[in-house]
Amino acid sequence: MAHTSPLSSCRDDHDPDALTLEQARTRALAQVSPIRGRECLMLRLALGRVLAEPVIAGAPVPAHDNAAMDGYALAGADLPRQGKAVLDVIGTAWAGRPFMNAIGQGQCVRIMTGAMIPSGCDTVIMQEHVEVQDQRVHVGTGHRPGENIRPAGEDIHTGQTVLAAGTLITPARLGLLASLGRVEVSVHRRLRVALFSTGDELTALGKPLPPGGIHDSNRHTLSGMLTRLGVELIDMGVVRDEPRHLREAFEEAARCADVLITTGGVSVGEADFVRDLLGELGRISFWKVAIKPGRPMAFGHMGQTVFMGLPGNPVSAAVTFYQIVQPALRRMMGEIEVSLPPCFPVRCLSDLKKRPGRMEFQRGVLSQADDGEWVVRATSSQGSGILSSMSEANCFIVLELEQGPVAAGDLVKVQPFQGLI
């Protein structure tokens, strides 16, 4: 629920017009849908893509009963009830080189891990548990018929939906698909994301800074995160704080991209034109979220193109990207279950300042204390322009909307960066 106290004061951070993070995220997710267009890719090229069709197993994995251990394959019926059984070794089964004959009573086969179980065998005894003398194996009691066998279809059975449409292809899923023998998969096409920074103060890398100038760090942080998400990035550079230039850039992005992401110019300053332009060229869904940093964030549409205008402050841009842009892009990329990064409680080693009214994402370093407990400490400075706080951190410390300050020793929730930032 949005907090709409009309009595906000300088002691709290309430803004009656701001959506809660949950409201903003829900609204963003409801207003985007998976892009149309799919392609067939060789498995090797499909990492990071999203399946456009379910994958159904045409055969079991593993295809054959096989040995889970190096040892001796035998018939469970030959295991002794007491004393020892003595069995003749009549051959060897290797992984990929099966022993093709059937065994008879009193016989066994030397077998390696992964080898197909020879006909007539249903049990593998580890080599450490037998004695071998002159091609004969002595097996004692205490074994169970069927032990150390990996049955055909143990992992995947024929006809099983192995991965649903809308599943992100991770390295583990590449392996799973390869285990099925899949050569190609049908995936959603890449999402086209245009990105530009706005601001007259932004100076190209390699150029000396003029008075009042800064280097454009946001475009680098954001393009890094976009690359990790696997989008097709259209880097439109820097656009001056000039309505005519901004309008042209907006229109060009709306022609060529599924999504336009900008940074800067979304607040209330006299050079902050982004929100008004979006209102003129398209429609605004929301532009303020009760989070810190990252309150001003414009979300809307220009025709079919989704627009996300992030704040200029570098930490604010990264936080809004992580919390709102990332799930929206993943839904557009075709993911059906867009899971949010996990959040869990740990003890905080630092005192944290916090005023009620905005949910806060302070930057923290999650580590293991000497006694083994996981703990978090805040990075040294928490200003929304302090990029070193992001670079030093490996997680957000998530402080709830109405929460006040935290004392060292209290429990706080943390959310790991998960390799995205």
Ligand X SMILES: Nc1nc2c(c(=O)[nH]1)N[C@H]1C(S)=C(S)[C@@H](COP(=O)(O)OP(=O)(O)OC[C@H]3O[C@@H](n4cnc5c(N)ncnc54)[C@H](O)[C@@H]3O)O[C@H]1N2
The binding site for ligand X (CB under 6 A) comprises 197, 199, 201-202, 214, 216-219, 263-269, 272, 293, 295-296, 311-314, 316, 384-385
Using the contact rule CB under 6 A, the part of the chain among 58-66, 178-186, 286-294, 337-345 near ligand MOO is 286-294
- Which helix (H) or strand (E) segment is 229 a member of? helix 217-229
Q: Based on CB atoms, which residue is closest to ligand MOO, 181 or 405?
A: 405
Residue 319 gets the label, from left (phi > 0), alpha (psi -120 to 50) or beta, of alpha
Structure tokens at 171: 């390295």
Least distance (Å) between residue 289 CB and ligand MOO: 9
Least distance (Å) between residue 8 CB and ligand X: 12
Pick from 98, 230, 264, 294 the residue near ligand MOO by CB under 6 A.
294
Residue 339 CB contacts under 8 Å (≥ 6 apart), including other chains: none
Structure tokens at 403: 């929460």
- Distance (Å, whole) CA 169 – CA 42: 13
- Distance (Å, whole) CA 287 – CA 299: 6
Residue 384 found at the interface with ligand MOO (CB under 6 A): yes
User: Minimal CB distance to ligand X: which residue?
Assistant: 312
Count of C-beta atoms within a 10 Å radius of residue 199: 19
Residue 295 gets the label, from left (phi > 0), alpha (psi -120 to 50) or beta, of alpha
Residue 327 found at the interface with ligand MOO (CB under 6 A): no
Residue 94 CB contacts under 8 Å (≥ 6 apart), including other chains: 112, 115
Q: Are 264 and 246 in contact (CB under 8 A)?
A: no
Task: Count how many residues are written for the chain.
Answer: 421
Least distance (Å) between residue 409 CB and ligand X: 30
Q: Based on CB atoms, which residue is closest to ligand MOO, 176 or 397?
A: 397
Residue 354 found at the interface with ligand MOO (CB under 6 A): no
Q: Which does 166 bind (CB under 5 to 8 A by kind): ligand X, ligand MOO, none?
A: none
Q: Which does 305 bind (CB under 5 to 8 A by kind): ligand X, ligand MOO, none?
A: none
Pick from 295, 331, 354, 355 the residue near ligand MOO by CB under 6 A.
295
Least distance (Å) between residue 298 CB and ligand X: 9
* Cis check: omega of the bond before 98, within 30 degrees of 0: no
Using the contact rule CB under 6 A, the part of the chain among 104-112, 242-250, 308-316, 359-367 near ligand MOO is 308-316
Q: Which does 285 bind (CB under 5 to 8 A by kind): ligand X, ligand MOO, none?
A: none
* Cis check: omega of the bond before 171, within 30 degrees of 0: no
Residue 326 found at the interface with ligand MOO (CB under 6 A): no
Least distance (Å) between residue 295 CB and ligand X: 5
Q: Which does 357 bind (CB under 5 to 8 A by kind): ligand MOO, ligand X, none?
A: none
CA dist list (Å): 239 to 19, 82, 202, 207, 262: 28, 85, 9, 17, 10
Residue 293 found at the interface with ligand MOO (CB under 6 A): yes
Residue 63 CB contacts under 8 Å (≥ 6 apart), including other chains: 152
- Binding region for ligand MOO (CB under 6 A): 292-295, 311, 313, 316, 384
